[in-house]
Amino acid sequence: MFRKALIRLGVGLVLLASVTVLATASGGSAGLTFVTTNVSYSHDGSPAANECPGPGINERHYCLVVTTYDNLKKSGGVEVDLTLQNYDQSTLSNPTTKLEWDNTAANLFLVSSDGSAVCSAPSTGGPVACSFPNLPGLGSGVVPGPHTACPAAPVPPSGPICSTVKLFFSVNAAANVSAVNFTATANVKESQPNGANVDSQTAAPVMRFDDGTGDGANADATVVLPQTTTQLDATKSSVKFLGGSRPFLAQFQESQLQPTSPGVCFPGIGCTGLQLATDLAGAPSGTFSTSQPIIWTATVNATNTNVVAVHYYDPVTVTGSPATKTFTTSGTRFASCNGVNFGSSPGGDVVANKDYFVINAATSGGNTTFQVAATATGKALNFQGSGPFSGSCIKVIGDQKSEKTGPCTSTAPPATPAQLPALCAVKTSNSTVLVYLLDDANGKISY
């Protein structure tokens, strides 16, 4: 669910502070795991509270699976996923669920749902009721096994057949609220004739907010709600953007690396070691643009405002033509790339996870062709494979006058210019500079 960015800011050659950023694409490059998921399986309504799907028990064999997300911030958005799993021989008829919680101080309000169920909640906040469509059975003779994850098609004979709805809430929890205790209940139309095991299934998951420990001060995350301006904060940095047409999970993390670490920045550009990663992989296509940019803000160690940025954009699909030593990708972004980093090796002289310079780039018919070299003035390198490969465009931002913008202050970014990416920097002391980086695409950034 996630589009990802990593930013490093540093001091480069000729007294330049340098920044590194990556672009928007499916997948992403940062791979953040600050937000963790908790999966809770239900139990039945009998005194024994048998864990679903109840193999060997005289009841309807199904599960209610609830997924919550830990380490989200207390203001913004949260997500709870409800999944019904049918392991039974016959259809699960007219299934419904109800999601409740114990802490009104969390101020949860249902904003929207995404899935096959129809869900509603009071406008004043409160329990969410969902009606699911009938869930087909597995047929006569099926013997349910233990609960498992929902399979990709085809469904094995042991099941389960699944249906999921994602619930998105706005949240504005009080300072003393550290967690929300949920109770989720599922029911079906049928009832057991002997009354020993009622058909209801109940789960009691807990959602824990970011408590500020561990990476808490240097990491921030939320579920971005549609058309909502979101800001995620860390100690020396932040990222701000407008949400798209549907909710998505956003994560942001700041790390301080050793400035002398190899590979911190693009070849020829030294860094201070401040690294930012923004994971926006779930953002709908078209969320970010020149009119709706992503704005990264960071305080870096520098003595002047001659700052540049190196943006490692989220990877895109690249194909190769070994005979002509050229690569091809859709779009025009690679025409202005300074470099490229491949996620998988094209073979020959070009290996994975190494920075190369882009040379001889040209666009035609909405595609870009380019070659790669070991140095900025080097010869095109040979490679063997045709791909497809994943490739991240690397762009140095701020070394051209057209990429600098302003004015900006220590409290306000610049107005969005007509051309992105763009950078603005302002001194905040004799040894620190506040850098604003505006782009229409996500990625990896190092200062």
Same domain, residue pair 295 and 387 = yes
The residue among 45 and 249 whose pLDDT is bigger is 249
Q: Is the peptide bond before 413 cis (omega within 30 degrees of 0)?
A: no
Same domain, residue pair 154 and 283 = no
Q: Write down the pLDDT at residue 190.
A: 57
| Number of residues that this document lists for the chain | 447
Same domain, residue pair 53 and 25 = no
Span 154-179, average pLDDT: 93
Q: Could you report how far apart the first and last alpha carbons of the chain are, in Å?
A: 26
Asked whether residue 25 carries a pLDDT value surpassing 70, the answer given is no
Same domain, residue pair 281 and 318 = yes
Asked whether residue 292 carries a pLDDT value surpassing 50, the answer given is yes
Q: What one-letter code names the amino acid at 213?
A: T
Q: What is the CATH number of the domain that holds 138?
A: 2.60.40.290
The sign of the CA dihedral 83, 84, 86, 91 is: negative
Which SS3 state, helix, strand or coil, does residue 28 take? coil
Report residue 331's pLDDT band, with 50, 70 and 90 as the boundaries.
Answer: very high
Q: What one-letter code names the amino acid at 99?
A: L
User: Could you read off the pLDDT of 66-113 as tens digits, one per residue?
Assistant: 999 999 999 999 999 999 999 999 999 999 999 999 878 999 999 999
Q: Is the peptide bond before 284 cis (omega within 30 degrees of 0)?
A: no
Same domain, residue pair 197 and 74 = yes
Cα 129 from Cα 119, distance rounded (Å): 5
Cα 152 from Cα 130, distance rounded (Å): 24
Q: Is the peptide bond before 421 cis (omega within 30 degrees of 0)?
A: yes
Q: Is the CB of residue 249 less than 8 Å from the CB of residue 69?
A: yes
Asked whether residue 263 carries a pLDDT value surpassing 60, the answer given is no
Cα 188 from Cα 166, distance rounded (Å): 20
Q: What one-letter code names the amino acid at 168?
A: F
Instruction: Name the domain count of the chain.
Output: 2
Q: What one-letter code names the amino acid at 278?
A: T
Beta-bridge mates of residue 358: 372
The answer for residues whose C-beta is within 8 angstroms of residue 281's C-beta and 6 or more apart is 1, 2, 3, 4, 26, 27, 28, 248, 314
Question: H helices of 289-441, where?
Answer: none
* Residue among 337, 440, 447 nearest 392 (CA): 337
Same domain, residue pair 287 and 310 = yes
Where does 314-366 show beta strands of DSSP type E? Answer: 316-321, 326-330, 339-342, 355-364
Among 208, 224, 241, which residue terminates a domain?
Answer: 208
Query: What's 191's DSSP letter?
Result: -
User: Could you read off the pLDDT of 364-407 as tens digits, one per residue?
Assistant: 999 999 999 999 999 999 999 998 999 999 999 998 999 999 99
Cα 417 from Cα 77, distance rounded (Å): 30
Asked whether residue 247 carries a pLDDT value surpassing 50, the answer given is yes
Report residue 143's pLDDT band, with 50, 70 and 90 as the boundaries.
Answer: confident
Q: Is the CB of residue 5 less than 8 Å from the CB of residue 312?
A: no
Same domain, residue pair 27 and 51 = no
Q: Write down the pLDDT at residue 261.
A: 60
Cα 120 from Cα 114, distance rounded (Å): 12
Cα 238 from Cα 29, distance rounded (Å): 18
Structural domain for 219, as ranges: 1-34+215-447
Among 158, 179, 208, which residue terminates a domain?
Answer: 208
The answer for residues whose C-beta is within 8 angstroms of residue 358's C-beta and 6 or more apart is 334, 337, 338, 339, 340, 370, 371, 372, 393, 394
Same domain, residue pair 73 and 24 = no
Same domain, residue pair 184 and 327 = no
Q: Write down the pLDDT at residue 310.
A: 85
Same domain, residue pair 83 and 2 = no
Among 175, 208, 241, which residue terminates a domain?
Answer: 208
User: Could you read off the pLDDT of 336-376 as tens digits, one per residue?
Assistant: 999 999 999 999 999 999 999 999 999 999 999 999 999 99
Q: What percent of the chain has pLDDT over 70?
A: 89
pTM: 0.87
Same domain, residue pair 137 and 253 = no
Cα 310 from Cα 123, distance rounded (Å): 46
Same domain, residue pair 47 and 112 = yes
Q: Write down the pLDDT at residue 194.
A: 39
Average pLDDT taken over every residue of the chain: 87
Burial 121-157 (b: 16+ CB within 10 A, else e): beeebeebbbebeebebbeeebebeebeebeeeeeee
Where does 192-272 show beta strands of DSSP type E? Answer: 201-203, 206-208, 219-224, 229-233, 237-242, 248-256
Asked whether residue 12 carries a pLDDT value surpassing 80, the answer given is no
